[in-house]
Amino acid sequence: IRRNAGETEFHQAAREVLESLGRVIAKHPEFTDGALIERICEPERQIIFRVPWTDDKGQVQVNRGFRVQFNSALGPYKGGMRFHPSVNVGIIKFLGFEQVFKNALTGLPIGGGKGGADFDPKGRSDAEVMRFCQSFMTEMFRHLGEYTDVPAGDIGVGGREIGYLFGQYKRLTNRYEAGVFTGKGLFYGGSRARTEATGYGNTYFVQRMLQTKGTSFDGKRCVVSGSGNVAIYSIEKILSFGGKVVACSDSSGYIVDENGIDLELLKEIKEVRRQRISEYARLKGNGTHFIKGGSIWDVPCDVAMPSATQNELSGKDARALIKNGVIAVGEGANMPSTPEAIHAFQDAGVLFAPGKAANAGGVATSALEMQQNASRDSWSFEKTETRLAEIMHNIHDLCANTADEFGVPGNYVLGANIASFVRVAETMRSFGVI
Ligand code: NDP
């Protein structure tokens, strides 16, 4: 803790994994040899840099850029870039640490990393976002490469930003290296179904989890927090599975639509017009409410899918959900539930899918994008989605079977942490002390 002072979120993520390892260390004491666990907790490399750029008024702004190249045992560093004012080294390290284990669960050849900047794209013009992305990449490009480090999007980094970042990389390197970035546009090497992958993947995972209890999304009342990439495509897939989504949110508050969220309207507001969620209630009227601030988790539901940001679901929120009869929780975001919330769900027997397993569909489809780029190929939507569904089912079964094997049936948190740790630890052992 002293060594990583002030990195609260990183401590939280590391503690959760380390606390899960007692059973596996008892069975495999060799995993503590050679300071293996200490090495797993230490990033291979951290890059922090200045990002100067000029705003539309001609004023120079200075942001801070980050890339934490956490672990490359299983493949090149892979993980998104986040642009949000809350970004600091502790946040990027927690995300990078989670990413190492998430990527291991996919079974695909990808290591873990994460990056971003404390830049706030909200209210910025397209030209400002472009200048910021170009300045960011002017430092970042030298650390990337399809065999080295392959970023993607995250909060505040979607198709527009990836276009500007990839364009600048291409210009600086004079190489059309499609495999250096994922989440690209379809005209320049992107994969079909990548946009949908994280939300769809989480929904596939929860569907499989519900099946273990002989039920499904059909007819279920659902609440999805956030209204960004992960939230929108979770809602889309839940609807296709026969569920009804009654609430979603952004950082200003949440909306409740008892008729079920109108997905087309939500996409228009968020993806096209880039407006606030309150606009949904204003346009829809008719029994739809916008609640400023407050907690979306007070809305009763059968299935909750936190898909906004870390620590957005507290112990108190978990108790409200349990009281209202929630049966399953699928984490679309990274570490959205606090440790207190996770314990409350587990104690109450609620099916709980941790983010590192449930939201792995995004990075898995990114790895499929890398495969397509490497073979100069482009797969159909159906083929890509079929692979995604298969991968999510495999991750579900791996977590469930590992939990059974270690004597904690139904504990997906332990299952995910142990299964992924074993893959990374075994590989690092075979490389010796590096
Ligand atoms: P987006 O930027 O598309 O959307 C984020 C959503 O969450 C927005 O509605 C945003 O509201 C809300 N939000 C962000 N920060 C806060 C906050 N501090 N308080 C309340 N609401 C907030 O990001 P994504 O959908 O891509 O990412 C959402 C989560 O999913 C993140 O945890 C991310 O790490 C995780 N994830 C994303 C993957 C992907 O493929 N995109 C893959 C795996 C995980 P507002 O607009 O008001 O800020």
Annotated binding site: 78, 99, 102, 153, 198, 229, 366
Q: Which residues contact 263 (CB under 8 A, 6 or more apart)?
A: 232, 235, 236, 239
The predicted structure's pLDDT at residue 2: 82
Phi-psi region of 140 (alpha: psi -120 to 50; beta: other; left: phi over 0): alpha
> Of 93, 114, 220, 270, which one is the catalytic site residue?
114
The predicted structure's pLDDT at residue 311: 98
Looking at every residue in the chain, the average pLDDT score rounds to: 97
Share of the chain above pLDDT 90, in %: 98
Q: Burial, 91: exposed, middle or buried (Cβ in 10 Å; 0-12, 13-18, 19+)?
A: buried
The predicted structure's pLDDT at residue 286: 83
Share of the chain above pLDDT 70, in %: 100
Q: Burial, 255: exposed, middle or buried (Cβ in 10 Å; 0-12, 13-18, 19+)?
A: buried
Q: Which of 82, 101, 248, 309, when mutated, tests ligand 1's pocket best, judged by the most ligand atoms within 8 Å of its CB?
A: 309
Read off the pLDDT of residues 134-146 as tens digits, 9 standing for 90 and up: 999 999 999 999 9
Domain 195-358 class in CATH: alpha beta
Q: What's the CATH number of domain 44-179, 3.40.50.720, 3.40.50.10860, 2.40.30.10, 3.30.420.40?
A: 3.40.50.10860
Query: How would residue 403 be classed by pLDDT, with cut points 50, 70 and 90?
Result: very high
Read off the pLDDT of residues 155-187 as tens digits, 9 standing for 90 and up: 999 999 999 999 999 999 999 999 999 999 999
Q: Is 333 near ligand 1, meaning CB less than 6 Å away?
A: yes
Read off the pLDDT of residues 197-208 as tens digits, 9 standing for 90 and up: 999 999 999 999
Residue 245 Cα to ligand 1 midpoint, Å, equals: 18
Q: Is 250 near ligand 1, meaning CB less than 6 Å away?
A: yes
Q: Is 237 a catalytic residue?
A: no
Q: Provide the residue ranges of all domains of the chain, joining segments of one domain with +.
A: 44-179, 195-358
Q: Is 411 near ligand 1, meaning CB less than 6 Å away?
A: no
Q: 354 vs 89, 135, 413, CA distance in Å? A: 23, 35, 6
How large is the angle between the packed helices 89-106 and 361-374, nearest 10 degrees? Answer: 70
Residue 316 Cα to ligand 1 midpoint, Å, equals: 21
Read off the pLDDT of residues 7-45 as tens digits, 9 standing for 90 and up: 999 999 999 999 999 999 999 999 999 999 999 999 999
Read off the pLDDT of residues 409-433 as tens digits, 9 standing for 90 and up: 999 999 999 999 999 999 999 999 9
Q: Is 153 near ligand 1, meaning CB less than 6 Å away?
A: yes
Q: How many CB atoms lie within 10 A of CB 365?
A: 30
The predicted structure's pLDDT at residue 284: 94
Read off the pLDDT of residues 269-317 as tens digits, 9 standing for 90 and up: 999 999 999 999 999 988 899 999 999 999 999 999 999 999 999 999 9
Helix, coil or strand: residue 245: strand
The whole model's pTM is what? 0.98
The answer to whether 44-179 and 195-358 have equal CATH topology is yes
The predicted structure's pLDDT at residue 22: 96
Asked if residue 79 lies in contact with residue 65, where contact means CB atoms within 8 angstroms, the answer is no
Read off the pLDDT of residues 221-265 as tens digits, 9 standing for 90 and up: 999 999 999 999 999 999 999 999 999 999 999 999 999 999 999
Helix (H) or strand (E) holding 196: helix 194-211
- Residue with the smallest CA separation from ligand 1 atom 10 is 250
The predicted structure's pLDDT at residue 166: 98
Position 1 pLDDT exceeds 80: no
Structure tokens at 389: 């569904």
